Amino acid sequence: MDHTIDLFSVIDRLKQLVVEIGKLQKESLGRANLAFDVKSTAIDIVTEIDKKSEEKIIAFVKEYYPSHAILAEESGRSEAQSDYLWIIDPLDGTTNYAQGLPIFSISISLEYRGQTILGMVYAPVLDELYYAVRGQGAFLNNRPIHVSNKTQLLDSVLATGFPYDVAEHPANNINYFTRLLPKTRAIRRFGSAAYDLASVACGRFDGYWELNLSPWDAAAGILLVEEAGGSVISFREDRKVSIIAGNNTIVGQVYDEIK
Ligand code: IPD
Ligand code: CA
Ligand code: CA
Q: How far apart are the first and last CA of the chain?
A: 38
SS (H, E, C) the chain: CCCCCCHHHHHHHHHHHHHHHHHHHHHHCCCCCCCEEECCCCCCEEEHHHHHHHHHHHHHHHHHCCCCEEEECCCEECCCCCCEEEEEEEEECHHHHHHCCCCCEEEEEEEECCEEEEEEEEECCCCEEEEEECCCEEEECCEECCCCCCCCHHHCEEECCCCCCCCCCCCCCHHHHHHHHHHCCEEECCCCHHHHHHHHHCCCCCEEEEEEECHHHHHHHHHHHHHCCCEEEECCCCCCEEEEEECHHHHHHHHHHHC
**Number of other CB atoms surrounding residue 52 within 10 Å:** 16
The residue extents of the domains of the chain are 7-144, 153-258
Q: Which residue's alpha carbon is nearest to atom 16 within ligand 1?
A: 92
Q: Give CA–CA dist 80/82, Å, rounded.
A: 6
* 87 backbone dihedrals φ, ψ, rounded to 5°: -115, 120
Q: Which residue's alpha carbon is nearest to atom 5 within ligand 1?
A: 163
Largest CA distance in the chain: 51
Stretch 9-26: mean pLDDT, rounded? 98
Q: 104 C-alpha to center of ligand 1: Å?
A: 9
Share of the chain above pLDDT 90, in %: 99
User: Which atom of ligand 1 is least distant from the CA of 93?
Assistant: 15
User: Which atom of ligand 1 is least distant from the CA of 163?
Assistant: 12
Over residues 46-76, the pLDDT tens digits come to 999 999 999 999 999 999 999 999 999 999 9
Over residues 184-199, the pLDDT tens digits come to 999 999 999 999 999 9
Question: Is there a shared CATH topology between the 7-144 domain and the 153-258 domain?
Answer: no
Q: 218 C-alpha to center of ligand 1: Å?
A: 10
Residue 215 CB–ligand 1 contact under 6 Å: no
Write down the CATH superfamily of domain 7-144: Fructose-1,6-Bisphosphatase, subunit A, domain 1 (3.30.540.10)
One-letter amino acid identity for 214?
S
Over residues 92-122, the pLDDT tens digits come to 999 999 999 999 999 999 999 999 999 999 9
* Mean pLDDT over each residue of the chain, to the nearest integer: 97
pLDDT band at residue 2 under the 50/70/90 scheme: confident
Q: What does the radius of gyration of the chain's CA atoms come to, in whole angstroms?
A: 17
**Number of other CB atoms surrounding residue 103 within 10 Å:** 16
pLDDT top residue among 1 and 33: 33
Q: Does the pLDDT value for residue 220 go beyond 90?
A: yes
Share of the chain above pLDDT 70, in %: 100
Which CATH class, in words, describes the domain spanning 153-258? alpha beta
